[in-house]
A = this chain, B = another copy of it.
């Protein structure tokens, strides 16, 4: 019940892109800036392309660009692009029917949890995340350039 590294990478990449929503980004740039293995990131980006979250352009001056403004990209979309449909428990998928079928005490609660989580994922956007970070908020207050990315080591 944990966020996979892969999902983390995806979110990191998208928040990075979201800071300059009109720019194009190469895998190389994102990879270096966000400390993500280049070849692995390539695989991740394909899923985001497939889901229609980013658009890709091949060749020199190619790269990736957000298809929609950050405000319209939900965490749920991102999650599903990476992990597929959100499920909490998979019982009867091994072509055998669980002996608790139709009488499982816990199923309704995992489902309740699932719906609750989906709701939060659904209503959280990339923009929310961009406004959320501490320095992000500081920058807003200072009227400083939104592009700036402070990294504390």
A152 within 8 A of B: yes
Are A120's CB and B112's CB within 8 A?
yes
Taking A3-B1, A87-B2, A99-B35 as contacts, is the C-beta distance between A106 and B151 under 8 angstroms?
Answer: no
Are A103's CB and B3's CB within 8 A?
no
A145 within 8 A of B: no
Are A105's CB and B132's CB within 8 A?
yes
Copies of this protein chain in the complex:
2
A124 within 8 A of B: yes
- Chain B minimum-CB-distance residue to A129: B105
CA distance A23 to B3 in the complex (A): 39
CA distance A1 to B110 in the complex (A): 12
A115 to chain B, nearest CB (A): 10
Are A129's CB and B152's CB within 8 A?
no
A85 to chain B, nearest CB (A): 12
Taking A103-B135, A109-B75 as contacts, is the C-beta distance between A3 and B117 under 8 angstroms?
Answer: no
Are B103's CB and A134's CB within 8 A?
yes
A46 within 8 A of B: no
Are A152's CB and B109's CB within 8 A?
no
Contacts A/B (CB < 8 Å), 16 sampled: A1-B88, A2-B87, A3-B88, A8-B89, A8-B106, A12-B106, A97-B153, A100-B151, A103-B136, A105-B129, A105-B133, A108-B151, A112-B120, A113-B120, A113-B121, A116-B116
CA distance A136 to B136 in the complex (A): 51
